[in-house]
């Protein structure tokens, strides 16, 4: 089915200047970027976005890292966009990520793992609404 998912290029990958290379992977996989913004998240914005992880031991480090520098946030649209984006990203831990995936190619640690992608269609809707109003989405 035609789906939308939220993608974030994290501070480590923005700092490595590989936004374009990552966008190219999305486009070659048939995912369209229908909204995008660069943003330096405040601690509060990062906490709100990752609220689902609040009780996890890595929460503070995650929030600290995600607000440490600018991120590139985009909505991807395409057939099975949620799963397709997760395939492109590879496993959460880059050391376990399959060769040729974004995390295998551009990340080294589980904390600084280059990209975030929604893990379900339900969370995708919540995450898209966290950063974008409906008028900012440009499907075509
Ligand atoms: P992300 O998909 O953005 O969702 C939560 C992030 O927490 C995850 O990517 C990782 O970067 C980070 N993280 C750190 N430690 C862990 C862990 N043990 N399990 C899952 N995520 C972790």
Residue among 85, 90, 106, 110 whose CB has most ligand 1 atoms within 8 A, to mutate: 110
The verdict on pTM exceeding 0.90 is yes
Q: Quick check: CB of 52 below 6 Å from ligand 1?
A: no
User: What is d(CA 72, CA 17) in angstroms, rounded to the nearest whole number?
Assistant: 11
9, 10, 62, 103, best to mutate for ligand 1 pocket (most atoms within 8 Å of CB): 62
| Regions in the chain scoring below 70 on pLDDT | none
| 16 phi, psi to nearest 5 deg | -80, 0
Instruction: Give which of 50, 61, 62 is closest to 126, Cα–Cα.
Output: 50
């Amino acid at each position: 089915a035609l789906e939308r998912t939220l993608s974030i290029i994290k501070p480590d990958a923005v700092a490595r200047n590989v936004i374009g290379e990552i966008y190219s992977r999305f486009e070659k996989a048939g995912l369209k970027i229908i909204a995008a913004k660069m943003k330096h998240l405040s601690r509060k914005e990062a906490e709100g976005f990752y609220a689902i992880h609040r009780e996890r031991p890595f929460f503070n480090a995650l929030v600290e890292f995600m607000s440490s520098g600018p991120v590139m946030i985009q909505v991807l649209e395409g057939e099975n966009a949620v799963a397709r984006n997760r395939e492109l990203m590879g496993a959460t831990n880059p050391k376990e990520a399959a060769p040729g995936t974004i995390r295998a190619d551009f990340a080294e640690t589980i904390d600084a793992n280059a990209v975030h992608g929604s893990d379900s269609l339900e969370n995708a809707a919540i995450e898209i609404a966290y950063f974008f109003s409906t008028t900012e989405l440009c499907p075509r």
